[in-house]
Structure 1
Amino acid sequence: MMKKVIYALMLPLVVVSGLVFANREIKKPTSKPLSAAERKEALKKWEASPDGIRFKKWEASPEGKKVYAGVAKIRKQINDYTNMEAVVTSLSLPPGSLLGFGVMAKINGEDYILRFDKELQQLNSLKVNDKIIIKSHNVSYAPKYVYPIVSCEYVERDSKVIYEHAPRKGGC
């Protein structure tokens, strides 16, 4: 008898919840990509903001120009994902850095921050003056740092791979 009462109470609950879920509408994002004119207007607005003004001042400063020159120096290797020879100059990042694990290195006579997704045992074996081969798809910059930031995806020392970025799962 008790089972029948429980079933009798659960049946309407199941039916009602089924109807609620069946009538749910899948909402699609309503925001559309910005047009070129809208992007240009948003950029102008940002450039007039305090952050935009500070960034423009940094770009025009000697530090900003030095960083841009460093980026330009390795742009072809970044675009082509080709080998770049680097010499480790420091095992720590600049004070106050929030980039995670990384080292400082010279590439073509310029200083760069080499940033890694995670710290691995093989990377801890690096020493100052080690010669390494790196590959990357990305170099970035930020006014906080006086060096370009290379996001390393491949590192080799003495013809042995010591770091390789894991490809994204299910991504492009």
Structure 2
Amino acid sequence: MMKYRNTLILPIALASGLLFTSCESKNDSVAKSTPKPLTAAESKSALKKWESSPDGVQFKNWEASPEGKKVHAGAVKINKFIRNNAPMEGVVTSLSLPQGARLGFGVMVSIDGEEYILSMGPVSKVEIQQLKSLKVNDKIVIKSRGVSKAPKYAFAIVSGDYLEKESKVIYKRIPNKGGC
């Protein structure tokens, strides 16, 4: 009986040992393969390479077009608020995003007379209920960490960090764990 038990335990011990060492070596290779940050020269050459690609050329053409200039002007208009992490007052103009938008939950807002897409990050069940309670012409206060633009949209995209309606917080972005 003891002989059979030992013959069963020995292969299990060997298999678990092999699995443990293979997991260890995988973790080592992941740590070793982490890319180093690019130098300024490498970043500049990567940007030039992208600008000469078909996507880069298309983006540059869009930026030079009247629609691209309008979107860029809108982004520049609110950059001072974003850099200072200052609150911006806005008015909800639409509860739906433009057709074909893949930005997650968001609404259209007007800030200083300019239209923007207000896009939220991950939203909890409680926050989604509060966000769905928004109505057109509601006045809101927005704090954002960034504004972006894309040829697909005719509006600048504001990444919402904090949203307040009538002095009540209805959305607050949860910061990433472990750094940036």
Query: For residues 134 and 43 of structure 1, do their structure 2 counterparts lie closer, same or farther at Cα, with a shift above 3 Å needed?
Result: same
Relative to its length, the structure with more helix (as a share) is: 2
1:99: Cα distance to partner? 1.0
Any stretches of 5+ residues in structure 1 without a counterpart?
none
Does residue 119 of structure 2 align to residue 115 of structure 1?
Answer: yes
> Counterpart in 2 of 1:44?
48
> Counterpart in 2 of 1:158?
166
Q: Deviations over 1:120-147 (max 9, x none)?
A: 1111111111111111111111110111
Query: For residues 169 and 48 of structure 1, do their structure 2 counterparts lie closer, same or farther at Cα, with a shift above 3 Å needed?
Result: closer
How many percent of aligned residue pairs carry the same amino acid? 61
Q: Provide the aligned C-alpha RMSD in A.
A: 2.1
Q: Which amino acid aligns with 1:125?
A: S
Q: Deviations over 1:101-128 (max 9, x none)?
A: 1111110111100111236111111111
In the aligned structure 1, how far is the partner of 2:159 from the partner of 2:35?
A: 31
Select the residue among 59, 83, 87 that pairs with 1:83. 87
Does residue 104 of structure 2 align to residue 100 of structure 1?
Answer: yes
Q: Which amino acid aligns with 1:123?
A: L
Q: Which amino acid aligns with 2:7?
A: A
TM-score by length of 2: 0.84
- After superposition, residues 121-160 of structure 1 pair within 5 angstroms as 121-160=129-168
What is the SS of the residue equivalent to 1:46? helix
1:4: Cα distance to partner? 2.9
Any stretches of 5+ residues in structure 2 without a counterpart?
none
In the aligned structure 1, how far is the partner of 2:144 from the partner of 2:35?
A: 33
Query: For residues 20 and 137 of structure 1, do their structure 2 counterparts lie closer, same or farther at Cα, with a shift above 3 Å needed?
Result: closer
- After superposition, residues 59-74 of structure 1 pair within 5 angstroms as 59-74=63-78
TM-score by length of 1: 0.88
Q: Which amino acid aligns with 2:9?
A: M
Select the residue among 31, 55, 58 that pairs with 1:54. 58
> Counterpart in 1 of 2:13?
14
In the aligned structure 1, how far is the partner of 2:145 from the partner of 2:19?
A: 48
1:35: Cα distance to partner? 2.7
Displacement over 6 Å in runs of 4+: none
In the aligned structure 1, how far is the partner of 2:11 from the partner of 2:116?
A: 66
What is the SS of the residue equivalent to 2:137? coil
Task: Give the number of equivalent residue pairs.
Answer: 171
Q: Deviations over 1:27-54 (max 9, x none)?
A: 2116433332222222222111111110
In the aligned structure 2, how far is the partner of 1:46 from the partner of 1:165?
A: 31
* Bigger mean CA offset, 144-153 vs 3-12: 3-12
1:19: Cα distance to partner? 6.2
In the aligned structure 2, how far is the partner of 1:22 from the partner of 1:161?
A: 49
1:92: Cα distance to partner? 0.9
